[in-house]
Amino acid sequence: MVESKKPLLEIRDIRKSFSGVMVLNSVNLNLYEHEVLALMGENGAGKSTLMNILSGNLKRDSGQVLINGEPVDIETPKDAAEHGIAIIHQELNVVPSMTVAENLALGNEPKNRYGLIDKKRMRQDALDKLSPIKASIDPGQMLGELGVGEQQMVEIAKALAQHARILILDEPTASLSKGESEQLFRLIQELCEQGTGLIYISHRMEEVFALADRLTVLRDGHTVMTKDIAHADQNEIVAKMVGRTVEKLYEHPAREVGAEELIVQDLRLESDGPAVSFTVHAGEVVGMSGLVGAGRTEIARAIIGADPHASGTIRLKGKEFRFKSPKEAIGHGVAYLPESRKTQSIFPVRSVEDNISISSLDQYLTPLRLIAKGKLRSDVVASMESVNILKRLQHTPITNLSGGNQQKAIFARWLLKDSELLILDEPTRGVDVGAKQEIYELINDLAAKGKAVLVISSDLPEVLGISDRILVVRQGAIAACLSSQEATEESVMSYATGVAASQTADSMASGTN
């Protein structure tokens, strides 16, 4: 709850351009003590650029940043830290191969009188830093062995130990389980009560309305709305974000389902693991749901040959395959969109054109084994247009694109390849509502063209909204296969958590139906 009338942080008329392209154009924002300010906007609206200016990773072209009413210059991350500003990025800035204590002390390790690292003191310092956030984490554990939620808590503990009074959280729940998210929300509330001001960047409306006191919306580098959350309306927010009214996010047209495209029979990831069996038909969208860690991604990776499996059969169009690598699967018409766009999908230093064409180059070889560049480029442009990416971005490094446009570029990759089976793992993670709608339309178009689509998602409304059937995964096994007519959030979660199975067992034991 906002208690201070004087802003803790003020951003006045901030402007920033890259190569003559205006990215931020007179952005204004205020943050108060004891407040959670939600910052919303489409990918590419300028949120990340603004936060990078605040955290000292970028320099503004003009405008002012004021803390407690005093103008400040933030030219480096060290400047930001000295002014009490800390940012927790969606892609965590941690060192997995080091212990929790080493991560917390990184750059400021305690030394003994001989100039060596004092490990005993470093461990105690780590316990002291973890104490305020009530995290039961062993300082001696390797950070890479922790779950994403615990790694995030370590980053927050480090920020608070540096006396951060302005904490920026960028899509903090994107990779968290429900339990980890609830733990984070409790910590956010406690920090607010202690006087911290938090900027919470998220595309998830339910979180914004549950946590935020106010919200600010950016669009095309402009501040287009600032409002108390009590007086905000979801439809108005979406309209401000995308510059148009999104009438319906999910469209589920009637589909003509064809023959079985993918048949997975008795697939076991480990010799003593559960057997997984399911099918995906041509012209069908099958959703795969379940709790984080249930084994959905592991099943997908085994199918495409990214990870080995102990036994079982995989058939495409009736023919059995055991792919040794994703490259082999791609060669047989299988497309895979991994859950981690940054580390597994894109080639960061290459252009949008290179990222789209990378899997299709063999289709453009001339008899002399040269690439027909003219034909390739015209087809790349056509695939870009089909996913609504501007032609002028063709030769731009893909890292300069927003997350939503990066994801659409990966879709364009598989459109160019004309894959028959598409396995999409978290296709809309970290993507704004406008890009989400475009991705859902792409999925519908692919199914309408007879493609088989398997969508793995932690977003239950998404799974329910786009799927013809839903596979619920629990502890590495298919716990249920539900039609779109019978599936609800309650029924899916009941199978995902094992409640439905225990109720069935109780019913059988008592002799009831």
Per-residue pLDDT of the chain (513 residues; tens, 9 = 90+): 444 478 999 999 999 987 777 889 989 999 999 999 999 887 678 888 898 899 898 899 999 999 999 999 999 988 998 999 988 876 667 788 889 898 888 878 888 888 888 888 999 988 888 887 777 788 888 888 887 778 888 888 888 887 889 999 888 886 677 777 888 888 889 889 989 999 999 878 888 999 999 999 998 889 999 999 999 988 888 788 877 555 566 777 788 899 999 999 999 999 989 999 999 999 999 999 987 678 899 999 999 999 999 999 999 999 999 999 999 999 999 999 988 777 777 888 899 999 999 998 988 888 888 888 999 999 999 999 988 888 888 998 898 887 778 888 998 998 899 999 999 998 887 777 777 888 898 999 999 999 999 999 988 888 999 999 999 998 899 999 999 888 888 888 888 877 765 444 344 333 444
Contacts of 52 (CB under 8 A, 6+ apart): 58
Pairing of strands 222-228, 214-219: antiparallel
Confidence (pTM): 0.63
Q: How far apart are CA 405 and CA 413, in angstroms?
A: 12
Range 259-344+419-507: architecture per CATH: 3-Layer(aba) Sandwich (3.40)
Residue 226 is encoded by which pair of tokens? 């600032």
Strand ranges, E, within 220-308 = 222-228, 260-268, 276-281, 285-289
**Residue 304: strand, helix, or coil:** coil
Half-sphere exposure of 81 (CA within 13 A, CB side): 10
Q: Cα 41 to the chain's mean position, in Å?
A: 15
Amino acid at the residue 257? V
Q: Where in the chain is the domain with CATH 3.40.50.300?
A: 9-244, 259-344+419-507
46: left (phi over 0), alpha (psi -120 to 50) or beta: left
Reduced to 3 states (helix: H, G, I; strand: E, B; else coil), residue 489 is helix
DSSP letter (8 states) at residue 341 = I
Give the distance from CA 325 to its chain's centroid: 25
Q: Would you say 66 and 10 are in contact if contact means Cβ atoms under 8 Å apart?
A: yes
Amino acid at 296: R
Q: CATH assignment of 9-244?
A: 3.40.50.300
